[in-house]
Amino acid sequence: MPRKPKQDRSRATVDAIVEAGFIALSQRGPADTTTRHIAEIAGVGVGSLYEYFENKQAIFNAMSQRFISDTAAMIKPLTPTLVQMPIDEAIRTLLNQFRSFLEQDDGRYLKCVRYAMAVDFELHLDPLYKVLNNVIMRYLMEHPETLRVSRIPAITYIGINGGIFAVIRHLSDPDPMVSFDEMADGLASMIGHYIAAELSHLRDVVR
């Protein structure tokens, strides 16, 4: 049975294997990536790899968790700034930050999330959803008038999932129908206009 790393050297080996997994996946895709390829890139023996990972899928799972953890860590420091912005500007800013995050390090993460379904990235999204939900809840508390808007859970669900997968889909498309800015503006405007219309309606009812 694979063991958990407890010492610094063991953790460094696991980190090297996970990093090598990203490189191998981006070069070969999930079907053609093997544990031997990953071990060679990591500079460890296949036997050492199997000390920590049962198979290729176990490495993919660790990669998914690393990607989600790094994404959440990117978003957390942005929260105080985002909650002070108008909703459409906050969405646009977050989408652009996510784009920059995916494209850094020669697009390492972007190359891998193109295979998200094949490596089960979506099974590890809960920590990211929690961070994004926290941003939304803090935004609502900072702008209490928005708490009166109907269907907030539905809008939240659409905004989070639509934003994540729209960015990935757009950056993975070699010839997108619209520019990234147009896509981000479209999603931001759609949600912003809905909330503005709901608040305007509520004000009319009060009158």
* Per-residue confidence band for 207, with pLDDT thresholds at 50, 70 and 90: low
* Element (DSSP H or E) covering residue 95: helix 87-113
The pLDDT value given to residue 22? 92
Segment 114-131 shows an average pLDDT of 79
Segment 153-159 shows an average pLDDT of 87
Q: Which of 1-5, 23-27, 120-124 has the lowest mean pLDDT?
A: 1-5
What is the three-class DSSP state of 46? Answer: helix
Please give the residue that has the higher pLDDT: either 148 or 185: 185
User: Would you say residue 53 has pLDDT above 90?
Assistant: yes
Tokens of 31: 């079907």
Query: How many residues does the structure list for the chain?
Result: 207
CA distance 131 to 100: 18
% of residues, the chain, pLDDT over 90 = 54
Segment 152-157 shows an average pLDDT of 87
Closest to 119 (Cα-Cα) out of 189, 9, 18, 51: 18
User: Would you say residue 177 has pLDDT above 70?
Assistant: yes
User: Would you say residue 175 has pLDDT above 70?
Assistant: yes
| 63-122 tens-digit pLDDT | 989 999 999 999 999 999 999 999 999 999 999 999 999 998 888 888 888 887 667 777
Segment 162-183 shows an average pLDDT of 90
* Per-residue confidence band for 156, with pLDDT thresholds at 50, 70 and 90: confident
- Which residue type does 30 have? P
Mean pLDDT estimate for the chain: 88
- Which residue type does 6 have? K
Closest to 90 (Cα-Cα) out of 139, 51, 22, 144: 139
The pLDDT value given to residue 159? 87
The pLDDT value given to residue 1? 55
For the chain, what is the radius of gyration of the CA atoms? Answer: 20
CA distance 109 to 106: 9
Phi-psi domain of 98 (left: phi exceeds 0; alpha: psi -120 through 50; beta: other): alpha
